[in-house]
Structure 1
């Protein structure tokens, strides 16, 4: 039997960050390795209560409901990542289009100026009868004027060639800017469609989950919540029983402390898909904003966080690192020490403390590697 859970309350063997200590130490769901989780017992109802006559379906039926809800919310999480990615891409594409538009305006003004210079040069040639300067100099009786004029001719020729080159290059630049802008518009439109499709899928899955939950009686909902807690406790206990906490010794970096402090301050705020604060968050909205507050911008979605940030071994993780969950990297949480995470779990829940091993871990990434 491992240390009692109250040992963790007294400060923990690994020393959780000061910013998160008061929150994490108040949580009793994080048992020490080897400690079994007791299944929460339903509160007995007086026999005279009308609800006491409600017969609960077998746990296996409610377990099937729980698994179905998990699937629906998982699908919603995947779609949320797709929505957030499309949103982020749309912002970048819109900014690029604006930048290209400015370049086109500036390029057109430059082209107009170059054309005006060319026009003035043509007008000057017309006024002198169209006779080239070189011919005029050959007819001159003054050698000094000829030599001085020859220099001016060379300068004029170089200037003319430079003007032609600049005109040509500016026209090519304008053509390329226009092509780039058209390409960005095409991508933006495709992104809008992807975003709309993701939003539709999110709302459908959440609606289906809510509909399924609405069919349950009050006692059934209570028992379902117990089954969810039991599943999380079982997974967390199994993870801790591997002895993983005996291997994790790293302390948070200064930036990691700031990120954990930010995440801790959000505990209790509701999960809203697509949200990144300040009043509500989705999973990656919370982690990205936490690290932005620490002066380290990171990708917006859990999948991009997994792709772009440095991977570290679980035994080497430190508070502030991000744990990516599920094979499709559809969920992310922030590790805060002593086997605990802060996360925005799913619709209907709030930002909260949980066990790091309560879900299948894909890997760990470090924003400030």
Structure 2
């Protein structure tokens, strides 16, 4: 996205004036495309300008699909754990029912072996009728226990049937979530392939200018001074700074590669804080504050749908994972329309 590129003022000193003008025009054209208007100084008929704007749009669409992938994948992981717990519970329930059936089968077998004779009659015909009353009382207790066992067996069978039905519904939901993951993955891969093809179609000098505008490194560190991070925010800021230069990898949350929300989750994990996986969920992972009151460690989400996120590190800068081909880097906090500033 052109809005993810560093402004010409922050580029290296070796960046020529003509290249700076080219990149600035590309950024203006992409911004205008997002707003549905064309900048006054843009040449709407320029093939290279149009191509760059299409590349930026494809990267933006790929990023939105990536966040959809992250959300679906997170849901699938949760469902897999839930299904596993349900299956364990069903297995334990079945074992319990088997034991109950076995115990009842012992009684039934004894009755069968006695020729099916009514136990009360068997006691009456016993050789020692003086003990009849004691045996009859014992028989009553056995019958009560057997009746109770049958009732418990039926209840256990109903519970097991309910658990199996619930597990079946959860498995169906898991399959839907897996299908959503696959769909988002195909969408991301298609958009990125289209963007790469368009980028390769640019003349060499235009492609090099685009690449230079997307390149970042340790020489991009903002000046010292400004707000100081404290506590867990300081640890998260230190972590996100350490990731500068690492590659953008969609669907990844470190430590060797990141997408935008994966970088935020990983950075706060290094501070011992768990935050949600997607940028949309991260927007609501804490207290919202005005942009004018942003402190290092605050999460800054962008666009109305919060499909991109970076971490404010002070001096009007964020660190974020922009898009494929542009590694984790510093950019101005106002690089895109801000959706929210969230203090974790």
Shared fold (TM-score greater than 0.5)? yes
Which of 51, 54, 58 is 1:72 aligned to?
58
Residue segments in structure 1 that go unaligned for 5+ positions in a row: 1-28, 31-35, 46-55, 230-247
Tell me the distance in 1 between the aligned counterparts of 2:141 and 2:238: 67
Which of 58, 66, 78 is 1:92 aligned to?
78
Correspondence 1:128-207 to 2 at 5 A: 130-132=117-119, 136=123, 142=130, 146=133, 150=137, 152-153=138-139, 155-207=141-193
Correspondence 1:250-261 to 2 at 5 A: 252-261=229-238
Q: 2:3 maps to what in 1?
A: none
TM-score by length of 1: 0.70
Tell me the distance in 2 between the aligned counterparts of 1:320 and 1:153: 74
Tell me the distance in 1 between the aligned counterparts of 2:145 and 2:310: 63
Residue segments in structure 2 that go unaligned for 5+ positions in a row: 1-5, 19-24, 27-40, 216-225
Q: 1:346 maps to what in 2?
A: 323
Contact conserved, 2:255 with 2:266, CA < 8 A, in 1?
no
Number of residues of Structure 1 aligned to a counterpart in Structure 2: 302
Contact conserved, 1:134 with 1:153, CA < 8 A, in 2?
no
Q: Does 1:266 align with 2:243?
A: yes
Tell me the distance in 2 between the aligned counterparts of 1:195 and 1:114: 43
Q: Does 1:296 align with 2:273?
A: yes
CA shift for structure 1 position 359: 1.3
Tell me the distance in 2 between the aligned counterparts of 1:83 and 1:317: 29
CA, structure 1 residues 161+291, in 2 after alignment: closer, same or farther (shift >3 Å)? farther
Tell me the distance in 1 between the aligned counterparts of 2:242 and 2:129: 91
Tell me the distance in 2 between the aligned counterparts of 1:154 and 1:294: 66
CA, structure 1 residues 263+38, in 2 after alignment: closer, same or farther (shift >3 Å)? closer
CA shift for structure 1 position 285: 1.0
Tell me the distance in 1 between the aligned counterparts of 2:267 and 2:276: 12
CA shift for structure 1 position 218: 3.1
TM-score by length of 2: 0.75
> Secondary structure of the residue that 1:161 maps to in structure 2?
helix
Moved more, 186-195 or 114-123: 186-195
CA shift for structure 1 position 172: 1.8
Tell me the distance in 1 between the aligned counterparts of 2:10 and 2:72: 43
Which of 306, 322, 325 is 2:299 aligned to?
322
Tell me the distance in 1 between the aligned counterparts of 2:317 and 2:262: 19
CA shift for structure 1 position 349: 0.8
Moved more, 271-280 or 211-220: 211-220
> Secondary structure of the residue that 1:312 maps to in structure 2?
strand
CA shift for structure 1 position 208: 1.6
Tell me the distance in 2 between the aligned counterparts of 1:262 and 1:105: 44
Which of 39, 43, 58 is 2:16 aligned to?
43
Tell me the distance in 2 between the aligned counterparts of 1:214 and 1:208: 10
Tell me the distance in 2 between the aligned counterparts of 1:79 and 1:223: 27
Contact conserved, 1:111 with 1:167, CA < 8 A, in 2?
yes
Contact conserved, 1:76 with 1:206, CA < 8 A, in 2?
yes
The one of the two structures with greater contact order (alpha-carbon pairs below 8 A, sep at least 6) is 1
CA, structure 1 residues 126+42, in 2 after alignment: closer, same or farther (shift >3 Å)? closer
Contact conserved, 2:123 with 2:129, CA < 8 A, in 1?
no
Tell me the distance in 1 between the aligned counterparts of 2:148 and 2:326: 67
CA shift for structure 1 position 96: 2.1
Tell me the distance in 1 between the aligned counterparts of 2:16 and 2:315: 30
CA, structure 1 residues 318+164, in 2 after alignment: closer, same or farther (shift >3 Å)? farther
